Amino acid sequence: MADDGPSAVGLFPLPRTVLFPGMPLPLHVFEPRYRALARDAIDGAIPIGMVLLGPGWEEDYHGRPAVHPVGTTGRIVTSTERPDGKFDLLLAGDRRFRILGEEPGGAYRRARVAWLPEPATEPREEELLAAALVEAAEGIRPGLREKAALLEGGIGPLVGFLAAACGETADARQAVLASGGPAVRARTLLGRLAPRAAAARALARALDRGGSARFAEN
């Protein structure tokens, strides 16, 4: 795929899934149109483009419901075709794209896309952003620090992991994905997690003070 112009992807829209570069995504593919896409992707004919369904998708799910314009291609890591023609795929988030338009017809939805840049982050900036993200996430959900330490691939996968692990909604994760390159996504997510972490810690302190006061009264 050329980097200097639009290309095509086969769209795989889902209602609650936002794929970030560097993150794994297991898929069980059972609908005929997406089985056709899986076969073409396995053959190398077209990449799978994961996109989040837009508001009101329930009314037209089997047609062409609205989707968010920014998505991520999924590189096939493993694929298994079942005897009934369904597929079990393991994808790895690869490249972000913006939909320019869709092509009519076909067994599945095809879109013309422009590839979005993923500028490198300075090592020191990445280190500081990663530390701040993990600190905030730990305040929301204790134990994430150890899990985050097992991740590889830099700040890109870390953002995707923490956004999901901290319970950010699909729309919130989509906003993070669409905000920019890895450092921008990290700062966007930090802007969401830091206030939640501060509130969680304030609540914990208040509960601790309340418990201590009751203990003293007894």
Q: Model confidence at 137, in pLDDT bands (50, 70, 90)?
A: very high
* Phi-psi group of 217: left, alpha or beta (phi > 0 → left; psi -120 to 50 → alpha; rest → beta): alpha
- pLDDT over 50 at 140, yes or no: yes
CA angle 206, 210, 214 (to 5 degrees): 170
| pTM of the complete model | 0.88
| CATH level 3 topology of 7-115 | 2.30.130
CATH 2.30.130.40 range(s) for the chain read: 7-115
What's residue 207's pLDDT? Answer: 82
What's residue 2's pLDDT? Answer: 41
Range 2-18 average pLDDT: 84
Q: Model confidence at 218, in pLDDT bands (50, 70, 90)?
A: low
pLDDT digits (tens, 9 = 90+) for 167-216: 999 999 999 999 999 999 999 999 999 999 999 889 878 887 765 555 45
Residue 136's nearest CA partner among 203, 190, 188 is 190
pLDDT digits (tens, 9 = 90+) for 142-167: 999 999 998 888 999 999 999 999 99
pLDDT digits (tens, 9 = 90+) for 62-108: 778 899 999 999 999 999 999 999 999 999 999 999 999 999 889 99
pLDDT digits (tens, 9 = 90+) for 17-71: 999 999 999 999 999 999 999 999 999 999 999 999 998 776 776 778 899 999 9
- Overall size of the chain counted in residues: 218
Q: Model confidence at 1, in pLDDT bands (50, 70, 90)?
A: very low
DSSP for 8-63 reads EEEEEEESS--PPTT-EEEEEE-SHHHHHHHHHHHTTSS-EEEEEB-TTGGGGTTS
Residue with more model confidence, 48 or 217: 48
- CA–CA separation, 55 vs 46, rounded Å? 27
- CA–CA separation, 198 vs 85, rounded Å? 49
What's residue 178's pLDDT? Answer: 98
What's residue 209's pLDDT? Answer: 73
